[in-house]
Structure 1
Amino acid sequence: MMNIATLTLNPTIDVAYSLDRFVHSDKLRTAEQKADPGGGGINVARVFVRLGGNARCVYMSGGSTGAALDALLDLHQIVREPVSIEGETRISATMFEQSSGHEYRIVPAGPVISEAEWHTCLDRLSSVECDYLVISGSLPRGIPADFYAQVASDAKQRGVRTVLDSSGDALKAAVAAGKLEMVKPNLKEFQQLIGEDISDPILIGKAAQDIARSGSARLIVVSLGERGGILASAEHVIECAAPKVASVSSVGAGDSCVAAMVHCLAAGKSNEEAFRYGMAAGGAALLTPGTDLARPADIRRLFEQYVSET
């Protein structure tokens, strides 16, 4: 059985609504309200478990909303290791307007984390046993930019492979520290990482391969949205088109991609197969409403389309 741990420093309760149309100043009623545990690492764990693996979630949790998040994770049968904080866990909202097909997302900044709290998190992570550690999501306020780099360094010393999906200074610091198994920025995040405003796939692939050859990360996956994605290692650059699907919601597409890729890599699959499986999972996430994330049957179906085209 494949075992991973995920780290989510700024988790959220994701609430999804669907209604006919937005009208200002009116009381807008919806037939359903759906709430799921969310945040990058938690989303990765949800999909990884659906694919048959074991996932342990380390995350920060505080206040009455933190207790609600804990309960939601129990409903999803996720093994959890909350790190208690004083601040309130955030609540995010996704609203789908049926008449226009537009999706609106409201994402609060989240609580401020104290030095004692993030040190407690570091201590907790040092005792978590896993094959892969997936770090996904933004850094909350109060946590230093090199936190993910510290976590990855500690994991490397214990023989744990670290996968990072983040952005900004946190991503730069971790890549500079090196020895990551995989990083997965989107195009904007990748441009910020390398300090160049490039969009040509050939140039993106070359820049990503330079990072791999420097030893900063074994694999670099750059997601290009509707244009697909690029996988770079020291030996190869592979471009993959996005699955042809009618998008219902974009929530969790990147997290679904990471979960599926790690699932394949942990099972000993090739880099290319893991990449295409991840791209299929990202496409599968677009098919589910609100915060439902990718479903295994959809992932397999979209992956088989890649296989049939090669």
Structure 2
Amino acid sequence: MASILTFTLNPSVDLFSEVKAVRPIRKMRTQQDRADPGGGGLNVARVVTMLGGAAEAVFLGGGPTGDWLDSLLGKENIPRRMLPIAGQTRVSFSVNEKSSGYDYRFVRGGPDIAADEMMPCLDIARGHKGGFVVASGSLPASAPPDFFARLARTAGENGSRFVLDTSGEALKTTLAEGRVYLVKPSMGELEELFGSELDEKAACEAALSIVKRGQAELVAVSMGAQGALLASAEGAIRKPAPHVKVRSAIGAGDSFLGAMIWALNEGWVAEDAFELGIAAGAAAVITPGTQLCRRTDVEALYPTLTRK
């Protein structure tokens, strides 16, 4: 059994293309077309597997697009379980405009999910002993906002460390339960959680307050090109990101989390795992489109971040 179990309740097939320029009305001929599995938990499992770890990805999938998503994961040899749903798995589309370097991302909301289609997730988590249980990505709009909290409670009863990467009401509700080992909000998600804009000092204080309230043991805040911060009972650590040439920011947060979870599962101390996460996030932005980090890039960037 894999020691890392990930859940993705609103996955997608992520399409990516490049065009010379984005223009209205006119046809735009695409280049460098590709399709990748999409969704936070799936991407975490993909990064863990790429780094040599053992992860199993559980996801909801339906229709021809669900089968397509499953086949994409199969090509990467990702251990997985697709739980069938009546609706069709969504397809999202990202376009890189070569003239400006900007990414344009079109993300569908996803299908409605019935309550009985989600319940097997709890049964699977109940059968997972120890290790890590990761819930990453958005909840379907029809899902109760406390579903991740229920998943966290189930994981904790089996001695698993629960990791959360989501946003909005699902983030707020799950943290209120206080059963999270690691939570990874982006800076924007942290600001939404606290209801105000945050500078670096305020972000550190906000992250530390989550720890002090017993809502999570570790809080890792991804800050894009500004790096990341890690809050724990020992205090807050702030690390800058390596200077790299950015090709696409898509997948950077998932790469960060996947590498950090892999390292924690390997027995690394939290700060070292955090640094590997930053290296993986930077490694993701130098790959085009929806590609995640590559192991060789992570290994090259990590030594630039390690503590002296």
Deviations 1:12-40 (A, max 9, x none): 00111012122322222224321111111
Partner residue of 1:305?
304
Cross-structure match for 2:97: 97
Deviation at 1:237, TM superposition (A): 0.8
Q: Is the 8 A contact 1:2 1:266 kept in 2?
A: no
CA RMSD of aligned residues (A): 1.5
Q: Is the 8 A contact 2:2 2:56 kept in 1?
A: no
Paired with 1:211 and 1:21, the residues of 2 have a C-alpha distance of 43
Aligned partners of 2:130 and 2:286: how far apart in 1?
A: 31
Indicate if the aligned counterparts of 2:111 and 2:140 stay in contact, CA closer than 8 A.
Answer: yes
Moved more, 119-128 or 75-84: 119-128
Secondary structure of 1:32's aligned partner = strand
Deviation sequence 1:262-296 (CA, Å, 0-9, x none): 11111111111111110111110001111110011
In the alignment, the residues of structure 2 paired with residue 304 and residue 126 of structure 1 have an alpha-carbon distance, to the nearest angstrom, of: 38
**TM score, norm. by length of structure 2:** 0.96
Q: Are residues 1:74 and 2:99 paired?
A: no
Amino acid at match of 1:298: D
- Deviation of 1:218 (Å): 0.7
Aligned to 1:156: 156
CA distance, structure 1, for counterparts of residue 31 and residue 195 of structure 2: 46
Structure 2 CA distance, aligned partners of 1:203 and 1:108? 33
- Please tell me whether residue 184 in structure 1 is matched to residue 191 in structure 2: no
Aligned to 1:121: 121
Helix, strand or coil at the partner of 1:33: strand
Distance 1:29 1:163, change over 3 A: same
Alignment correspondent of 1:40: 40
Q: CA deviation at 1:301?
A: 1.3
For 2:216, the equivalent position in structure 1 comes to: 217
Q: Which amino acid aligns with 1:143?
A: A
Aligned match of 2:278:
279
Structure 2: distance between partners of 1:227 and 1:298:
19
Instruction: Find the residue that maps to 1:264 and give its secondary structure.
Output: helix
Q: Report the 3-state secondary structure (helix = DSSP H, G, I; strand = E; otherwise coil) of the residue aligned with 2:301.
A: helix
After superposition, residues 170-181 of structure 1 pair within 5 angstroms as 170-181=170-181
- Distance in 2 of aligned mates of 1:111 and 1:2: 29
Distance, in Å, in 2 between the alignment partners of 1:25 and 1:286 is 30
What are the residue-to-residue correspondences of 1:136-285 with 2, within 5 Å? 136-199=136-199, 201-285=200-284
1:45 and 1:56 in contact (8 A); partners too: yes
- Structure 1 runs (4+) greater than 3 angstroms displaced: none
Amino acid at match of 1:4: I
Letter in 2 for 1:288: T
Shift in CA distance, 194/25, structure 1 to aligned 2, threshold 3 Å: closer
Please report the TM-score for the alignment, with normalisation by the length of structure 1: 0.95
Q: How far has the Cα of 1:2 moved from its partner?
A: 6.9
Distance 1:57 1:26, change over 3 A: same
Percent identical residues: 43
1:126 Cα offset (Å): 2.2
Q: Corresponding residue for 1:293?
A: 292
**3-state SS of the aligned residue for 1:133?**
strand
Find out whether 1:53 has 2:53 as its counterpart.
Answer: yes
C-alpha separation in 1, matches of 2:32 and 2:208: 46
2:181 partner letter: E
